[in-house]
Amino acid sequence: MARKRAISPAVFRRGINLWPPFLFAGIRVLEVGEDYRSAKVRLRLGRLNRNWVGTHFGGSIFAMTDPFWMLLVMQNLGSEYVVWDSAAEIEFVSPGRGDIFAEFVLTEDRLAEIRELTAGGEKALVWFDTEVVGADGKTVARVRKRIYVRPKRRDDAGRESAEQTGRSERTEPQPA
């Protein structure tokens, strides 16, 4: 399904590469698919993201994978859905000593699964898996992200705005 994008993948890629958590950690988004169905990310080992034993800092490994499943799902489902990160897990498999990479590919089957799970207005909690690999193809880490998805309701506009700004909605007592 062709959708009009608020921002082109190329502009998004350039912008996220300037985002301080990525820029200062040595994280670089190499590719974002024209249909927002894929992304490829690299983390270079440098003195600012090296841990005590000289390998990649685990927080940087996690950060390189953090936003992508949510963003890909959000871009493909469109503004009629609420999409949030819900949970995450990381397993460190082997030391990362050079450039490491993560690839994300969102298939039509996964999107169809999410649409089916949310068809009646229900929420869906969907897990996505990513392997972080070294230039030699050896697995450095396995990351799982759980994404919360549900169709928007009419009352979401005000609540979403409050959630995004960090303010909670409160109802003041009304005089009797």
Between 33-37, 69-73, 135-139, 161-165, the lowest mean confidence (pLDDT) is in 161-165
How far apart are the C-alpha atoms of 156 and 79, rounded to whole Å? 11
pTM of the entire predicted model: 0.82
More confident residue, 4 or 171: 4
More confident residue, 46 or 73: 73
Best CA proximity match to 140, nearest among 110, 174, 105, 97: 97
> What's the pLDDT at 4?
53
DSSP label at residue 50? B
| Domain 9-165 CATH assignment equals 3.10.129.10 | yes
How far apart are the C-alpha atoms of 15 and 21, rounded to whole Å? 12
Give the C-alpha distances (Å, rounded to integers) separating 31 from 100, 154, 165: 15, 35, 30
What average pLDDT score do residues 122-136 get?
97
164: region left, alpha or beta (phi > 0 left; psi from -120 to 50 alpha): alpha
With bands split at pLDDT 50, 70 and 90, how would you rate the model's confidence at 135? Answer: very high
- Domain chopping of the chain, boundaries: 9-165
